[in-house]
Amino acid sequence: MALGALNALGAALQALRSMRPVSMRWSTVGLLALLVLVQAQLWLGNGGKPHAMNLEMQLARQQAANDTARARNKRLEAEVHDLREGLEMVEEKARNELGMIKPNEILVQVTPRR
């Protein structure tokens, strides 16, 4: 009886060994397909390399716009400071933008010929 069980066990092991390469091939093919799918998603999908490059370009454009806005804000801040602190700036603005003159002052405007 024990000899028959050993023979049956040996036959089962032999059957498993013969099946092993086929199942390993399928698992290898499956894992490679999964790897290709993950890599394709990484390179081509939403959130992949092209999307990241697009976001980097948008970031660079926005940073340039922010730098321009910061420079303009600094100029405006300096102008507001001058308007609050100095009367010379108020006088200059009144003369240049509103055409105002002081009492007993004569304004002469010269326009270039065309």
| Cβ contact 83:90 at 8 Å | yes
Tell me the C-alpha distance between 83 and 78, whole Å.
9
Tell me the C-alpha distance between 90 and 84, whole Å.
9
Tell me the C-alpha distance between 9 and 16, whole Å.
11
Tell me the C-alpha distance between 24 and 32, whole Å.
12
Tell me the C-alpha distance between 76 and 35, whole Å.
56
pLDDT of residue 49: 79
| pTM check: above 0.95 | no
**Tens-digit pLDDT string for the chain (114 aa):** 456 665 666 666 566 566 556 666 777 778 888 888 877 777 777 777 788 888 999 999 999 999 999 999 999 999 888 878 877 777 777 877 887 778 888 877 788 887
